[in-house]
Amino acid sequence: MQEKKNIRLLVSLVVLIGLCVVFIFFGSSRNAVDVDKELFRVEDQTQVNKVVMDSKQSNIELRFDGSKWLINNSFEADRQMVKVFFATILQAEPKRPLAEGIQDSVSNYLVNNGIRVTLFEDEVLVKDFWVSGNERKTETYFQLAQTKIPYLITIPGYRVYVASIFELTVPEWRDKRIFNFNWQNFKSLQAQFPQQANQDFTVSFANQLFGINEVAVADTTKLSNYLESVFNLQADQFPTNIPGKYDSLLKTVPVYSITIMDIANRAYQLEVFPPLKGEQVILGRVNADLPVYFNPKQIAQIVRKRSYFEY
């Protein structure tokens, strides 16, 4: 008798659990908010030719001049970073609006402390929204400028901090190539060693050939490899805050410098400073103004003295 009673109780329990599951499923379905996945996208990215990211910390403008993207009309932007930016805009989706209880506070934070992102097609505004994230940089929030509803943003299939691409500084947007100009306009390269002047040399281009003025017969293979390393030289980082020890180093005489002239007599200069003990980067300076960090292995390929090219 007790066994039959237990069976009835078990069946009743299973039925009740089933009813709860059905209620929760259909109840949550009725309460779910349909979110437009296209809310923060533009109709045709290929038509966007200007992006402005404005915040209390900085104002960054990316503008396409017909062949390349420029930062604040001053420097060429890193092409890979531009690709990442537009891929982020394309793939980022609003997962859901934030809970009503925190919408106002997050919305106020976005407007007062976030980054306003505007996209233009030939000066016509096509998208306008705010971007920010939480303190731990684990969640990203977008909000259209004309509303006060912030959304939690994700990239399906990835666990990434979506806002990171919008938080880059001007130096981080800059193209990492050091000698970034049209090499068909190359005129000369002068290498100087302040403490070993007898190792200075000048590379010139004449009759479709590169040669070293101070070396009667230069090793053409070594010269070709050297010039390729110079042409392809890239920074590891353009630092925004220079530690005191590096700031002091910039006031000393560099161990090596390269100055390239083009046919319009424009100069492109790189100075290289001695390595600091225990540090993993080499300090340089571009055009006597911009500090730069290099990987020691990469910089070693361009610190070549005159004797290196002699047969």
Tell me: pLDDT of 8 over 50: no
Output the CA torsion sign for 154, 156, 161, 163: negative
Q: Residue for token digits 């989706």?
A: 93
3-state secondary structure (DSSP) of residue 148: coil
User: Cβ(161)–Cβ(140) under 8 Å?
Assistant: yes
Pairwise pLDDT comparison (241 vs 5), residue with the higher score:
241
Distance (Å, whole) CA 165 – CA 131: 10
Write down the pLDDT at residue 33.
60
CB neighbours of 267 closer than 8 A, spacing ≥ 6?
259, 260, 261, 287
CB atoms within 10 A of CB 270: 25
Write down the pLDDT at residue 12.
42
Pairwise pLDDT comparison (183 vs 104), residue with the higher score:
104
Q: Where are the beta strands (DSSP E) in 161-233?
A: 186-192, 201-206, 209-212
Segment 216-267, tens digit of pLDDT = 889 999 999 999 999 999 999 998 888 899 999 999 999 999 999 999 999 9
Enumerate the H helices of the chain as residue ranges: 2-31, 79-91, 100-113, 170-173, 220-231, 244-249, 296-300
Distance (Å, whole) CA 298 – CA 276: 16
The enclosing H or E element of 15 equals helix 2-31
**Residue in 110, 134, 106, 108 with CA at minimum distance from that of residue 54:** 110
Mean pLDDT, range 199-214, rounded to an integer: 91
Write down the pLDDT at residue 281.
94
Quick one: pLDDT band at residue 5, thresholds 50, 70, 90?
A: very low
Question: What spatial distance separates the first Cα and last Cα of the chain, rounded to whole Å?
Answer: 107
Protein fold of 45-173:
Immunoglobulin-like (2.60.40)
Mean pLDDT, range 19-42, rounded to an integer: 61
Segment 83-142, tens digit of pLDDT = 999 999 999 999 999 999 999 999 999 999 999 999 999 999 999 999 999 999 999 999
DSSP-assigned letter for residue 47: G
User: Cβ(229)–Cβ(301) under 8 Å?
Assistant: yes
Distance (Å, whole) CA 212 – CA 219: 10
Look at the chain and count its residues.
311
Tell me: pLDDT of 185 over 60: yes
Range(s) of the chain covered by CATH 2.60.40: 45-173
Q: What are phi and psi of 219, to 5 degrees?
A: -75, 105
Mean pLDDT, range 285-309, rounded to an integer: 94
User: Cβ(273)–Cβ(165) under 8 Å?
Assistant: no
- Dig out the tokens for 181 from the structure: 């100009």
Distance (Å, whole) CA 303 – CA 308: 10
Distance (Å, whole) CA 192 – CA 73: 32
Question: What DSSP line would sit under 101-112, residue for residue?
Answer: HHHHHHHHHHHH
Tell me: pLDDT of 19 over 60: no
